[in-house]
Structure 1
Amino acid sequence: MASTLPPHSAILLKGNLHNPIHRQRYVSLYPTGTYHLTWEALPQCKATHQRYVIPLRRGKTVKSVASPVTAPLPADGEQQRKELCESYGFRQIGEPLPDDVTLKNIIDTLPKTVFEIDDTKAWKSVLISATSYALGLFMISKSPWYLLPLAWAWTGTAVTGFFVIGHDCAHKSFSKNKLLEDIVGTLSFLPLIYPYEPWRFKHDRHHAKTNMLNEDTAWHPVMKTHFDESPIFQKAIVFGYGPIRPIMSISHWLIWHFNLNKFRPSEIGRVKISLACVFAFMAIGWPLIIYKTGIVGWIKFWLMPWLGYHFWMSTFTMVHHTAPHIPFKSSEDWNAAQAQLNGTVHCDYPRWIEILCHDINVHIPHHVSSKIPSYNLRAAHKSLQENWGKYLNEASWNWRLMKTILTICHVYNEDRNYISFEEVAPEISSPITFLKRVMPDYA
């Protein structure tokens, strides 16, 4: 029998109706290709290969069916990485970084100029965001109803630029004047009703614990034990990591930033100042918007752009560190250089998005060193490509990339990194099956 199997496929063995063979998956350990199988010869295989086959009784009728398996191939060969790139929607999947490479080794290869703070460039980014946001509000005020979604998309992207400015301020890479940084950061976050200091403290932990199981404060896999312990919330978790994942940063915003119990005693004072600023903006800004434009105006001018911002916040963060081949590790096995260089994704978006969002998706150098200002990220990335290029994960945004994340990257598995809810809880995974059916698969 000749059989051609697609990459990372499985064989389903079926016997006759009276004595069926139990359904089981057997993953091929060999490269894709055409193989001639003679069942009678299988038991006579050499001892070194006998553990990979299952003897069958003579006289059984056997049917082979190829079906896809979500377990990633080990990304330790060039051909395997090419197959994974095609399957997951990546442009390049990096080779594993050697264990003896440290984060300092990588930082030392970067030119000193990428760490330099330039006040002119910093304030230019403020001007771009302020101008594009004002233009967006003008577009909303003048657009007929059928053009409002375009105006909201522009304005939501523009206000995301304010977040990136505050993000630089939080990393102390915006200005040489540190008091000014805190003021600009606080003001930049106000239209998003994001408390600056709580976000800064939380985000610092993300950089210190990137791709570390449980400790990372950004997106990480669902732990199966937690999933099994919360049966009443399982459906919500499936939706949260599936169809509504592109706006799930709203939940993250609520859970992480307004609970004083999540911060150290030394942080509480600054957290309270930020919360006071946010509540003051809501108490003054929202009534003014409603007074001038009504509730519908509040929805048009504030809520819809805010939801657009959360779409970018959710999807950017998701793409930066989530792929079937990128592992999350326990603190005992975690390696900083591997997590920051090899576990972070560079993703190219349309140029207008890159401009309005100040190159936040040139993300690998930002994780190598958060002290690099956003306006120097491209120069830093070019240096990383020259010195560490074969280890980088790179993609251009595409539907297959998003489909991979939304339909596969769910529950943590030590051997496979991720397994889908369809495998863990098939009885409640219809939202994931729906996404597989309706999402485009263009790369």
Structure 2
Amino acid sequence: MSATTEKFAKASIPSVNADIQLKDIIKTLPRECFQKDRRKAWSFLFINVLAVSLGYVGIATLPWFLLPLAWIFTGTALTGFFVLAHDCGHRSFAKRRWVNDWVGHIMTLPLIYPFHCWRILHDRHHLHTNKLLIDNAWDPWTLEDYTQTNPFVRRFYQALRGRFWWLGSIAHWAVLHFDLSQFPERDRAKVKVSIASVVIFAAVFFPTLIATTGIWGFVKFWLLPWLVYHFWMSTFTLVHHTAPNIQFRPAETWSAAEAQLAGTVHCTYPRWVEFLCHDINVHVPHHICVAIPSYNLRMAHESLKQNWGSHIQESKFSWALMKEIGDRCHLYHPEKAYQSFKDIQR
């Protein structure tokens, strides 16, 4: 057993008392956590735009052997664009709804991500976090679903739950966010506006980029930073709620307090990643209450550790962590949380 495996095997997070409601946890947070600060919000947006601009200057001017560093930096900064849109989607960026919607759309345009489509589907994730067959973010298949699906889809699932986890966000983006059937009728007008906005942007931007810089320019300036962005999106969202001891639960036994507090993971990344991505890794307080702006997440996390520390799950980003998740967290198991593909082959 590896050191990482042993650590996970020993991890024991006490279950949250059934009498505790999510509102009881929210009441323990300082009031300052929920306060919007216009100066901070727009300052971080301005810094993020500067970081992305710096990244593209690097891509345009650096010698070829430094381009991978420029792609990594730019893609990570573009992930910051998405996190700002994430605040907008939860109405925690600005007080006015129309400001949140405009900023959210602008931040997600370069990523070809339809804002309202993501916002509505993401709200579903928050309402049903770790609820089996209902949560739409890295929810594990049951053994029955896995064995009954066709072999091609099964292989695709195996890849995304294994060493190709970093492509998971692309699959989620492509399969769900442009499908009108995923959205209730009342939301479809907004959804269509968001889809139209990214389609028009792509129809103008991509031909212009290719005409001025060629196919290599398209790959260099857009595709590779976009792939880095999806690497972080896939990684963040997978690690947020996945560990060998985090149990997805059927609706009849599911508890919001347990799912949001003990089923959400705080993961530490290199500080430059956390800075460019606006502390999205400080994820437990965000699931306790989506109204907390990103710049107040650390304050809220410290409060949660003081009051609910025994229930907080923490990890550190590393290859060992991703290997552990990719090797073990494959299919739902009602007692052990997960069973691996190797387990069912034995």
- TM (normalized to structure 2)? 0.96
Identity across matched positions, percent: 48
2:223 aligns with one of 296, 303, 313: 303
Corresponding residue number in structure 2 for 1:189? 108
2:317 alignment counterpart: 397
1:106 to 12, 25, 32: 25
Deviation digits for residues 205-235 of structure 1, max 9, x if unmatched? 0000000001101011121111111132222
* CA drift at 1:144: 1.7
- CA displacement at 1:156 relative to structure 2: 0.4
Quickly say closer, same or farther: Cα 1:363–1:89, change in 2 above 3 A: farther
Task: Answer with 1 or 2: which has the greater Rg.
Answer: 1
> Which deviations, in whole Å up to 9, do the C-alpha atoms of 1:339-368 show, x marking residues without a partner?
000000001111100110000000000000
Q: State whether residues 326 and 417 of structure 1, in contact with CA within 8 Å, keep that contact through their aligned partners in structure 2.
A: yes
Amino acid at match of 1:126: L
| Counterpart pick for 2:332 among 391, 412, 436 | 412
Paired with 1:127 and 1:144, the residues of 2 have a C-alpha distance of 27
- For the 8 Å contact 1:89–1:400, the answer to whether it is kept is no
Report deviation, 1:88. 3.1
Contact 1:95–1:392, Cα closer than 8 Å, also in 2: no
1:209 counterpart letter in structure 2: H
Q: What does residue 179 of structure 2 align with?
A: 259
Summarize the Cα distance change of 1:257–1:114 in structure 2 as closer, same or farther, 3 Å threshold: same
Unaligned runs of at least 5 residues, structure 2? none
Q: Is the 8 A contact 1:247 1:311 kept in 2?
A: yes
Greater share of helix: 2
- Structure 1 residue 329 displacement after superposition: 0.3
After superposition, give the CA deviation of every residue in 1:353-392 in whole Å (9 maximum; x if it has no partner). 0110000000000000000000000000011011111110
Q: Once the 2 structures are TM-superposed, how far is the Cα of residue 240 of structure 1 from its aligned partner?
A: 1.8
Greater shift, 417-426 or 245-254, is seen at 417-426
The count of residues paired between Structure 1 and Structure 2 equals 345
Asked if structure 1 preserves the Cα contact closer than 8 Å seen for 2:280 and 2:294, the reply is yes
- 8 A Cα contact 1:344 1:363, kept in partner: yes
Q: Structure 1 segments of 4 or more deviating over 3 A?
A: 83-86
Equivalent residue for 2:130? 211
Give me the whole-angstrom Cα distance separating, in 2, the residues matched to 1:101 and 1:355: 33
Specify the SS of the correspondent of 1:358.
Answer: coil
Determine which of 231, 240, 243 is the counterpart of 2:160: 240
**Does structure 1 retain, via aligned residues, the 8 Å contact 2:131–2:254?**
yes
Structure with bigger RCO (C-alpha 8 Å, 6+ apart): 2
Match of 1:376 in 2: 296
- Verify the 8 A CA contact 1:136 1:155 in the aligned structure 2: yes
Q: How does 1:152-231 map to 2 (within 5 A)?
A: 152-231=71-150
Equivalent pair of 1:93/1:393 in contact (CA under 8 Å): no
The residue type paired with residue 76 of structure 2 is: T
Deviation at 1:93, TM superposition (A): 5.3
How far, CA to CA, are the matches of 2:13 and 2:117 in structure 1? Answer: 34
Q: 1:144 to 1:93 in 2, by over 3 A?
A: farther
**2:203 alignment counterpart:** 283
CA distance in 2, matches of 1:86, 1:423: 18
- Structure 1 residue 133 and structure 2 residue 49: aligned? no
CA separation in 2, counterparts of 1:357 and 1:230? 37
Give secondary structure in 2 for the equivalent of 1:148: helix
Could you tell me which amino acid in structure 2 is paired with residue 162 of structure 1?
F
Contact 1:85/1:93 (8 A) holds in 2: no
Could you give the per-residue CA deviations for residues 272-315 of structure 1, whole angstroms, max 9, x where no partner exists? 00011000110111112112211100100000000000000000
Choose which of 243, 256, 271 in structure 1 pairs with 2:191: 271
Letter aligned with residue 138 of structure 1: V
Q: Residue in 1 aligned with 2:251?
A: 331
Structure 1 residue 95: Cα displacement: 2.4
